Amino acid sequence: MKERESFVKNTIIITAILLWIKTYLVYKLSFNLPVSNWKQELILVINPLSSVLFTLAFIYFFPKRFHNRMTWIVALLFSILLYSNTLYYRFFNDFITVPVLFQTNNVGDIGHSLIAQTYWYDIFFFLDILLIGYLVKRGFLKAATYTKRDLTKFLIVATSVLVINLGLAESERPQLLTRTFDRELLVKNLGTYNFHLYDLLLQSKTTAQKALADNVDIVEVNEYVKENDVPVNEELFGIAKGKNVILISMESTQQFVVGEKVDGKEITPYLNDLIEESYYFDNFYHQTGQGKTSDSEFLLDNSLYPLPRGAVFQTHALNEFYATPEILKGEGYHNVVFHGNNKSFWNRDIMYNTLGYDDFISEAYYTITEDNQINYGLKDRPFFKQSMDHLNKMPQPFYARFITLTNHHPYKYTLDDQMINTFETGDPIVDRYPVTVRYTDEAIKEFIEGLKAEGLYEDSIIIIYGDHYGISERHNDAMAEVLGKEITPFENVQLQRVPLVIHIPGQGGKTISKVGGQIDLKPTILHLLGIKTEGIHFGTDLFSKEHKNVVVFRDRSVVTDKYVYTSDTCYDRKTGNEIPVESCEEARKYQMELDLSDSVIYGDLLRFSPYAKENE
């Protein structure tokens, strides 16, 4: 038998140990993966090892002269994957999925946010790669010659670790692999690398759903929608019939800023005044997933839930939908979106055509200079000002959505645009947040004044809503200081509330505390215009006296008028106190809407609907 190199001088073994240790340290330092007992800690320790060992085992099938090179490449790829997840987690408090990887055209446009999430000490993510390269080059590490018996032993160890890992994980969390919505739980129990393999399997499964779907699959969905639909509010049905619809998407704006002050100055002075003469919903929640702003648009136009992985705008842009723009087109409306950013961001140029929009006024239609842009495109004030020139040329009635940009992570601003002081928590993201919110508030004021000057105000209803959260859970300590209370799981759900203002000239002046979400906007808007909702929609009219008062989140949390269910815990919604989980049993039944909606999108079931576009 050929002489072997010393165990400690084997490149592959040393690389496996370094990757194992590094991954565990990243779990503890970069991700929020809390453990409550020794078993969970043990799972966290061992779960990176099996995937590292299995992957490195394949190196033995290459000729010996390639062993060191392949080992280094594998280590580099693992490190890049780990670091990419860290950057994504810092920004979104989530892990990368396969659909997200297909959103590469978004990367260039979120450069500022990526830079804000990059720190000098990130070099440590790659120190082991540099160390291995150095040791190999200096001859301290050499490739070993292994027999088939050695390889077998290597695979046995990897398999044993995997079996132990899965056994412990299943004992801690039964039916773990069915909880595909809880990526944090999957990573904590399976490990980052095994999670990505599992995600690939899920992607294969969902890809096949469309090919296997038929018209029978839509029957269950139709029956559920009919059983849970609610009657219209006769007093308000058709009150805005024939009027223009103007939607303003407030980027990253959470409800806690409404009515809040910094050093005695209001963060949203104009919005506060507008609320006094509008319908304001103070228990309205965003329901977005990984698609963020695009998910909020999808929810609003379709009354379907976003997907558990990736963004519908990216993954299913050629599906059949029965969206609000398509419906309004049949009523003589002209449909348009205004957005001072790249038209391909979130695949909007394709998806808008699918949804029935006639025009998309994107970056190319605006005059953008170094002075009037920040973060991701045109600042909000010049955006609205320049948009008015295009809006005046649109045929009426129109359905027009304006997507703001300035109040976007990492909340950069120029001193000339600052109208309010920052928070003083020591967290730069949280501290800058009120400044950019205040700027957007001023931009909306100028825009609505412009509508009045151009004679469009009286003939329009104006709907202003927050698209998704702005401050993630990573900043809970600073948020606790701002709000003056601990951010518990219950409070975190409350922080998912976003503003919703429905302004109908001559109407309103009322705050409505019903529980609602973005999925409810489609039926609400259509009913105000005097159009009854048809087809598949999971939301209900916010003005209906029988509105269901339920919000379901993509992580399967549920809010009702009485309870909040989140993180496997039930809370009394009024007091925030934890109560027996059985109390939330009725609320949890609404989680099935997520599964039904997913089946509609993955199976492209609306192509079997009588409302599908004729012969398309």
Query: Which residue numbers are catalytic?
Result: 293
Q: How far is CA 97 from CA 27, 179, 259, 504, 553, in A?
A: 18, 15, 37, 41, 18
- CB within 8 Å of 507: residues ≥ 6 apart: 239, 279
What is the distance between the alpha carbons of residues 184 and 31, in angstroms, rounded to a whole number? 9
Per-residue b/e over 149-176, b at no fewer than 16 CB within 10 Å?
eeeeebeeebeebbebbbebbeebbeeb
Q: Is the peptide bond before 410 cis (omega within 30 degrees of 0)?
A: yes
Separation between Cα atoms, residue 126 and residue 75, nearest integer Å: 9
Tokens (6 digits) for 593: 């809407």
Q: Measured between alpha carbons, how far is 416 from 31 in angstroms, rounded to an integer?
A: 37
CA distance 267 to 441: 8
Q: Considering only CA atoms, which of 31, 72, 26, 24 is closest in space to residue 48? A: 24
Based on DSSP, count helices (H) and strands (E) in the chain, helices before strands.
22, 19
20: number of Cβ within 10 Å: 18
* Residue-wise burial string across 27-45, b where 16 or more C-beta atoms lie within 10 A, e elsewhere: beebbebebeeeebeebbb
First-to-last C-alpha distance (Å) of the chain: 69
User: At how many degrees (to 10) do helices 192-212 and 67-92 cross?
Assistant: 80
